[in-house]
Structure 1
Amino acid sequence: MDSLDLYDASARERLVDEPPKRVVAPERTPFERDRARVVHAAASRRLAAKTQVVGPQSDDFVRNRLTHSLEVAQVARDLSRALGCHPDIAETAALAHDMGHPPFGHNGERVLAELSEGCGGFEGNAQTLRLLTRLEAKSLDADGRSVGLNLTRATLDACTKYPWLRTHAEEPQGVHADGSPRVIRKFGVYDDDKPVFDWLRSGIEGTRQCFEAQVMDLADDVAYSVHDIEDGVVVGRIDLTTLDRAGVWATVRDWYLPGVPDAALDAALDGMQAVESWPTTPYDGSRRSLAALKNLTSDLIGRFCASAQHATFAAAEGPFARYAADVVVPEQARHEMAVLKGIAAHYVMQADDRVELMVRQRELLAELVALLAHRGPEALERPFADDWHACADDPARLRVVIDQVASLTDASAVSLHARLLSSRA
């Protein structure tokens, strides 16, 4: 069966109906059109200048949000094809999964969450849904209101990593992949975006992720657990041949897996060190050494995806799409990914220079929000100025300011902050 046949008319429906386009044959599927819309979105381009773990201006090798999203998309596409769901849906969800992240990654998200209490909070995944269904300019409804990219129901559902409101979110625990503490609740929709959320979740009870969202979520976990190690090795902060197990295990328990015993973490690292491509000599910057590191990256990604594929097929008969099954990740694979995250956290993310930089970033964003809220539409980009004029109260205007700041790249946030400060003087 073609994977496209697993998706009925409801899954292919768009919030605003669109007539077929005259294109050169063969005509694109609805999910191919969704993917193209995300690829060409302005928010996707901005990801190239947004922090992943290390700022994009600090080194031209390390990942930024765009390169990370591209790598997650590749893993998600391969994994979805192996599992049997539609690869365009999973890939589009992966390409879009970080679109809502503000400047300075999770560190910036923390600031905006604190400052937006008066208008319903801030969360990067909820902002992604807002971008896809409102802020990105592509389609309008009959009343002239933006409906964002007007993606299909199945694709929007796959993009919804946390399918619940803020009031239903659990208390935060641990830290993010970039080292910033989890101080905000994880949720996927703001209160004023609930109508479109109700539409995309039509007929679905509870807070279960659809299968394609689970594929995207796993691909994200796999990609950043492996690629953060690669970046850390190349910039000279990680040596995989001389790991401080006690220190790393403490970080793993503090950040990711509270209470996991040393024996389980030892078994996880031992299993990965048994992979043929695990290095036995320190990285030296040569092409041979870089090729060996790339081979390790590839082998670990394949290891985690194959483990999930076998476990998923063993747990259900399928079909593996929408709500007919769940992605299963074995405990061993979860432990191994947590160990990789712990290594990166221990040697890279706790470094004093990063901690100091993150404090300065938070101060800058807080000042930027205050300046924009004070100056109002004269300091906002035209789309956000229009939104401001349409607001009925101060909380709604605050949401517009948060939308504007969240849309900025690291560099444009810094430059706008400097420009507003200089014009105030």
Structure 2
Amino acid sequence: MLAPYATTEQESRGRLHGEGGSAHRSAFQRDRDRIIHCSAFRRLKHKTQVFVEHEGDYFRTRLTHSIEVAQVARTISRTLGLNEDLAEAVALAHDLGHPPFGHTGEDALAEAMAPYGGFDHNAQALKIVTDLERHYAEWDGLNLTWETLEGIAKHNGPVLGELPFALADYDARHDLELHSHAGAEAQVAALSDDIAYNNHDLHDGLRAGLFSVDDIRGLPIVGRCFEEVDRKWPGLDAERRQHEALRRVFGVMVEDVLEESKRLLRVTGLSSAAEVRAHGAPVIQFSPAMWADLKVIRAFLFANMYRHWTVRRMRRKAARVVRELFEDFMADPGMLPPDWSEAALGARSDTLRARIVADYIAGMTDRFAIEEHRALRGEMKRS
């Protein structure tokens, strides 16, 4: 049974291209399945969060992260009476638009694209599922429901001001009401993303030796979770101790979202998905106290992980790969694969050509970007 403020299939605004229904799957289940089976989703296996793909088999990739986000989103949605299938679809799609090398690659591509309308990974994800996935006979893209597209475009909140090109282009054809908040399910996906990366960045940073358990025991939430494990299992071996503590950190964040969101939904008295969208603030939130604690944790990770000297070295090399690939393909689009070069060479302006080049680079995995750069400029050393 769904809550009154949940998004239902019966109220869905449908797909841009009309289709018949399925006897066995809801519209949002079909969205989820199309996302899982698309090429861009498979490529997430070799796209990274912080570390470059070849650096270790145990670090999270965009694929494992997306699966973790979807798991959290389903748990929160089920508990709050929301539409699990829609929340899962948005969660699985939320990182499709990331270029290689994580946020480093996105920053480098955004800088290269600054004269041509910029680059934004959420807008790129929308472009992938509405255009760049070209496997169906009747349309480009995956022809997802309006609600899933809305969630991909604005799960982090309304998109105001000057719109990224891909968002503006699609919105002109299929109004996603970018000025408003998304439905509660997309809001769940956004908070699930925060929960997943806060937890796994601590785990990956420990595994990489960028900081130690002693370094993080003074952090809010983390310290008391280690204390609880030590009281319950004194002398537990280091790996199990770490795992037990961090799974508790994970649970604390989930419980906080559930309790705060229940409170907000109760006090606001919202009784439909439309009212959720029209409400002036998100209804799926961390408590203010949790936000404060997470800011401390993020500040620690920024200083000790994202700005660690070994990570900074790789970030510099990764940015150079993206920047130089863009420069080379813009200078000579004929070096692109045939389908891409034909489109780029036929582009009516430098801006359109740059968008084609950016689409090609954004679709690369870490490994493929390194190989392409090596073919054009020489090898990117991995040390």
TM-score by structure 1 length? 0.77
* C-alpha deviation, 1:297, in angstroms: 4.3
- Say if 2:325 and 2:373, in contact at 8 Å, map to a contact too: yes
Instruction: Tell me which residue corresponds to 2:195.
Output: 222
Is 1:194 aligned to 2:150, yes or no? no
- Say if 2:257 and 2:287, in contact at 8 Å, map to a contact too: no
Alignment equivalent of 1:210, drawn from 177, 183, 187? 183
Alignment equivalent of 2:223, drawn from 267, 273, 278? 273
Is 1:304 aligned to 2:304, yes or no? no
Instruction: Tell me which residue corresponds to 1:129.
Output: 126
Instruction: Tell me which residue corresponds to 2:205.
Output: 232
* C-alpha deviation, 1:330, in angstroms: 1.2
* C-alpha deviation, 1:421, in angstroms: 3.2
Is 1:365 aligned to 2:322, yes or no? yes
Letter in 1 for 2:187: Q
Letter in 2 for 1:306: L
* C-alpha deviation, 1:283, in angstroms: 8.9
Instruction: Tell me which residue corresponds to 1:266.
Output: none
- Say if 1:102 and 1:407, in contact at 8 Å, map to a contact too: yes
Letter in 1 for 2:254: G
Matches within 5 A, 1:278-297: 278=228, 280=230, 285-286=238-239, 288-293=240-245, 295-297=247-249
Alignment equivalent of 2:356, drawn from 397, 400, 422? 400
Instruction: Tell me which residue corresponds to 1:265.
Output: none
User: Which of the two has greater helix per residue?
Assistant: 2
- Say if 1:160 and 1:213, in contact at 8 Å, map to a contact too: no
- Say if 2:12 and 2:146, in contact at 8 Å, map to a contact too: yes
Alignment equivalent of 1:51, drawn from 36, 48, 65? 48
Alignment equivalent of 2:152, drawn from 114, 136, 159? 159
- Say if 2:116 and 2:355, in contact at 8 Å, map to a contact too: yes
- Say if 1:315 and 1:328, in contact at 8 Å, map to a contact too: no
5+ residue gaps in structure 1? 170-188, 249-268
**CA spacing shift, 1:230–1:74, aligned 2, 3 Å:** same
Report the more deviating stretch, 220-229 or 388-397. Answer: 388-397
**CA spacing shift, 1:45–1:400, aligned 2, 3 Å:** same
Alignment equivalent of 1:350, drawn from 301, 304, 307? 307
Task: Using the aligned pairs only, state the percent identity.
Answer: 29
Q: Distance in 2 between matches of 1:217 and 1:69?
A: 11
Letter in 2 for 1:197: D
Alignment equivalent of 1:150, drawn from 143, 160, 174? 143
Instruction: Tell me which residue corresponds to 2:20.
Output: 19
Q: Distance in 2 between matches of 1:329 and 1:315?
A: 15
**CA spacing shift, 1:306–1:238, aligned 2, 3 Å:** farther
5+ residue gaps in structure 2? 379-383
Cα RMSD (Å): 3.0
* C-alpha deviation, 1:308, in angstroms: 3.2
Q: Distance in 2 between matches of 1:19 and 1:391?
A: 36
**CA spacing shift, 1:304–1:362, aligned 2, 3 Å:** same
Instruction: Tell me which residue corresponds to 1:184.
Output: none
Q: Distance in 1 between matches of 2:332 and 2:70?
A: 39
* C-alpha deviation, 1:399, in angstroms: 0.7
**CA spacing shift, 1:323–1:387, aligned 2, 3 Å:** farther
- Say if 1:211 and 1:320, in contact at 8 Å, map to a contact too: no
- Say if 1:372 and 1:380, in contact at 8 Å, map to a contact too: yes
Higher RCO, Cα 8 Å, sep 6+: 2
